[in-house]
Amino acid sequence: MNIGEAASASGVTAKMIRHYESIGLIKQSQRSDAGYRTYSDKDLHTLRFVKRSRSMGFSLDQIRDLLSLWQDAGRASADVKTIAQAHVQDLERRIRELTEMRDTLHHLAAECAGDQRPDCPILQDLGRKDGAACHPHGGH
């Protein structure tokens, strides 16, 4: 199948397929006599693996490692688990950071009158000299 059909069947855009090939994440596609990219069912399976991994937030480097393990029948599941656990820890850190940002912005928005006056706690906080946000539960 051609790249458009592969994109449609895998859910990965043709642009991203070409990008993944260019960075070596997936192998270069076979070429027809006319020079068009052609993809097999195995290629589609790999593209779906990459798409699912991206949807779970894995980085391209992590996906490269996961693909290598996925394609290695002699892999140790402990290696896969290590990557997954590291990713979970990173997600938990990012969730904490996003939660703090949300709480701070919620607090600042609640403090803002939202009227015609120029006084705005949101802008005052963003312009603080120390760059530290005022946290909704006190302190900086």
Instruction: Tell me how many helices (H) and strands (E) the chain has.
Output: 6, 2
What's the rounded Cα separation, in Å, for the pair 71 and 90?
25
Give me the pLDDT at residue 133, please.
59
pLDDT digits (tens, 9 = 90+) for 42-65: 999 999 999 999 999 999 999 999
Give me the pLDDT at residue 61, please.
96
1-75: what CATH class? mainly alpha
Comparing CA positions, the residue from 45, 78, 79, 74 lying closest to residue 62 is: 79
What is the model's pTM?
A: 0.77
Whether 137 has a pLDDT exceeding 60, the answer reads no
Whether 111 has a pLDDT exceeding 70, the answer reads yes
